[in-house]
Amino acid sequence: MGCLCEARFSKDMPVSSECIGNLWLFKDLDPEDVQALVSAAERRIYEERDVIFYQGDPARRMFLIKAGRVKLTKVHEDGHEITLDMRKPGDFLGEQILSEETDYPVSAVCMERTLICGFAKEHFEALVRQRPNVGLQVIRNLSKRVHLLTDRAGSLSFSSLEDRLYRVLVAVAKEHGERTAAGYAIHFPLTHEDLSFLVGAHRVSITRAMGKLRESGRIFVHGRTVLVRVEPPAEG
């Protein structure tokens, strides 16, 4: 069975070739299980700044991002909002439905026009009851997320804010950006406020550090695009 998202939406937006049926989360499934996943999936398009779900909403759905970009944010008790992560085509949202009854711990906001393909909780649970191997594969593969979070936390150990910011930009660019001859290009909007929460610094300090990174040639900014050089340029 082909990808239904590509068949229905490829004319309207560039759709990732990654299908929910062959996603890493469901690797090693039998062909019959893959077909069942694809057939059960539901699809929807969101516009830029649309909220897919709010922090505190009952966790009832999970999604594969087929096109676009989604920002995960969290509001603390004092009212401050922080950016925790950004998800790209091929990433999942709403994994919380795989556990017991719970609420979404974060909000999911579209950074650009986004196509989602996923499952309602009750439909996915019914599928797992019919095909237990699907649930087993999900448990095995979710642990791979730990590696990315560990790398991102390690970037905060650098004493220089400029170096910490550069490490975070490299991590974001490698995961979400486009590889070019000069480095990695981030084409989606990435505000200084977003970076301040990712790095753990004040927005004003981020602005200064971004200026220093531009002066040193480690990054280039053109409109909404940030080009991150993986290696610092040679002097002279």
What CATH number corresponds to the domain at position 118?
Answer: 2.60.120.10
- Summarised one tens digit per residue, pLDDT across range 60-80 is 888 889 999 999 999 887 888
Considering the domain architecture, whether residues 103 and 183 belong to the same structural domain is answered as no
Q: Do 76 and 166 reside in the same domain of the chain?
A: no
Domain count, the chain: 2
Same domain, 70 and 186: no
The alpha-carbon radius of gyration of the chain (Å, integer) is 19
Tokens representing 102?
A: 């719970």
Same structural domain, 76 and 129 = yes
Q: Say if 148 falls within a structural domain.
A: no
Find tokens 């040193």 and name the residue. Answer: 216
What is the pLDDT, as a whole number, of residue 135?
84
Neighbour-count burial of 55, counting CB atoms closer than 10 A to its CB (0-12 exposed, 13-18 middle, 19+ buried): middle
The reply to whether 57 and 118 lie within a common domain is: yes
Residue 50 forms part of a structural domain: yes
Helices (H), 143-202: 145-154, 161-176, 192-199
- Give yes or no: residues 200 and 112 share one domain: no
Whether 91 and 33 map to the same domain: the answer is yes
User: Are residues 69 and 167 part of one domain?
Assistant: no
The answer on 205 and 111 residing in a single domain is no
Specify if 216 maps to a domain. yes
Give me the residues of the chain with pLDDT under 50, please.
233-234, 236
Does 15 lie in the same domain as 130?
yes
In a domain, 195, yes or no: yes
Domain interval for residue 61? 4-143
- According to the model, what pLDDT value does residue 23 have? 76
CA-wise closest residue to 46 among 12, 11, 23: 12
- E-strand spans in the chain? 42-46, 51-53, 61-67, 70-75, 81-87, 92-93, 107-110, 114-120, 178-180, 183-186, 219-222, 225-228
Same domain for 24 and 132, yes or no, is yes
User: Has residue 151 been placed in a domain?
Assistant: no
Q: pLDDT at position 6, please?
A: 73
Helix (H, G, I), strand (E, B) or coil at 185: strand
- Record the pTM: 0.60
Same domain, 75 and 134: yes
> Given this model, what pLDDT does residue 68 score?
92
| C-alpha separations of 163 from 20, 158, 175, 185, 219 in Å | 37, 6, 18, 19, 12
Q: What is the pLDDT of residue 113?
A: 92
- Rounded alpha-carbon distances, angstroms, from residue 159 to 54, 85, 206: 34, 22, 14
Last residue of a domain, one of 98, 120, 143: 143
